Amino acid sequence: MKIRFRILTLVCVLIFSLSGCAVISSSNNRSPEQEKNLNETISIYDKDENLITDIEHFGSITQTDDGFIYSKLSSNSTNQFYVMEYFHYIFSTDEHKRLGTIENWVYEATYDSFCKNNHTYMLITTGNAYNFDETENYLYDIDLLNNTMTGVMLENATSPYNSMTFFNDRVFIVTPGREMCFVSSYDIGDKSVSELREYYFDPDTNSGETIRHISSDDQCLYLLRLYMEGENQAKMYIDVFDLNLAHISSLDVTTEITANTLESEDKKNELRQLVSHFDVNNNFIYYENFSITRALFEIQNINLTDTEQVQSKQVFEASPALYKALSTSANNELSIFYEAYQNKIFVMDSVTRQINENSFYVKGLNYRITYMTYDSQGNALLFLDYIDPDSFETMPSKIYFVNISEIKNSTVGSSE
């Protein structure tokens, strides 16, 4: 999908920005007409290949319990600043409801959007995509019943790489920067943001600590903390806090995270990378960074004291092609993973401790899964692209809306 170019460009700029380097992009040389043509039309089908709807969109698609939210580049966009329109599609009524517009849109942190009590929460960056000193980060609260979206600016946020989780009736947000990292909370009642903790990292000496991601369950809040003492001394910890935000323990999970990384130098480098997914689910820990490291392991007791040694085991060897499907529910007993372009889907039940491997194919066509989301009812959106392995011919992208229970080595468009 066409969003990838801008997101990949942004991630590259971000990585170099956080490492003290400058990047000059040629994307601003595109004409306004070219920018407006970045919208694409994509079709959504059910498992029987029946067309549900077509949408014209640019950017992300975020699933809700009754449909999905999608964005579209406005005709008012220029070659430097994007104007993004947001819509909510509802399956049962086949309606496309307009939610609002965001000017100077730069980036949406799709990896952490979630729904709670008929609200969807998104982290969105606005401003100048190629100069982070000219950007602002917002938490958007989308009211799905009243079809409105309200943004609250996050203080001290100097990069678009933010993460959040829902815990104890509040949204907790991590806003990292080159030197400072802040943990804040958003009160869903009065819609205010309060700063809770801050961390300092010295990029010149590669020393200090920063928070790479955040997760939670019904009882605890979990901060994934990177700690460094120089270039070659990096460790990763999970800091555990209770409902009152009292610190319980700090678990060293450096070995567990790098278990599938082969070379020692790679291990040190991989620990420093930005993290796209960090999920704690009933003592199962999933880690995924923007590089090649994936880890899925189980900790015997997540609420250890600092003096106790972590007892863990790897669930399976996670390849760099493994990704976690985005659950739009704030808490979900199911964790779903997929191998990009391999069409393998792994469904893990954190209660029964079982993992089922399945596959999903389009009959007669070389469509491959590139992205996946699912809601609290187990309904999934599977995003598929087509590239011919010989001619490299492409075909229009497709999205399928199916229930997880129906994905058992299934082939859509087939009576088998």
Question: For residue range 375-391, what is the model confidence (pLDDT) as tens digits?
Answer: 988 899 999 998 777 77
**What average pLDDT does the structure give for the chain?**
84
pLDDT at 35 over 60: no
Is the model's pLDDT at 201 over the cut of 80? yes
Please name the amino acid found at residue 165.
T
Residue 222 has pLDDT above 50, yes or no: yes
| pLDDT of 145 | 96
- The residue-averaged pLDDT of 248-260 equals 89
More confident call, 29 vs 129 = 129
**What's the pLDDT band for 23 if we cut at 50, 70, 90?**
very low
Query: pLDDT value at position 305?
Result: 58
* Lowest-confidence segment of 7-11, 222-226, 255-259, 360-364 by average pLDDT: 7-11
Query: Residue 317 has what pLDDT?
Result: 80
Count other C-beta atoms under 10 Å from residue 113's C-beta.
23
The answer to whether residue 393 scores a pLDDT higher than 60 is: yes
Who's near 142: CB < 8 A, 6+ residues apart? 69, 86, 88, 99, 119, 120, 121, 122, 148, 149
One-letter-per-residue 3-state SS of 319-368: CCCEEECEECECCCCEEEEEECCCCEEEEEECCCCEEEEEEEEECCCCEE
pLDDT band at 221 (very low <50, low <70, confident <90, very high): very high
306-359 pLDDT per residue, tens: 555 667 888 878 888 899 999 887 666 788 999 988 889 999 888 888 888 998
For the cut 90, the answer to whether the pLDDT of residue 185 exceeds it is: yes
The pair of structure tokens assigned to 327 is 């659950």
And the tokens for 129?
Answer: 């995509």
65-124 pLDDT, tens per residue? 999 999 999 988 887 889 999 999 999 999 999 999 999 999 999 888 989 899 999 999
- Going by C-alpha positions, the residue among 167, 268, 184, 265 that lies closest to residue 226 is 268
Confidence bin at 176 (pLDDT 50/70/90): confident
**By the 8 A CB rule, do 250 and 237 touch?**
yes
What confidence score (pLDDT) does residue 236 get?
A: 94
pTM: 0.86
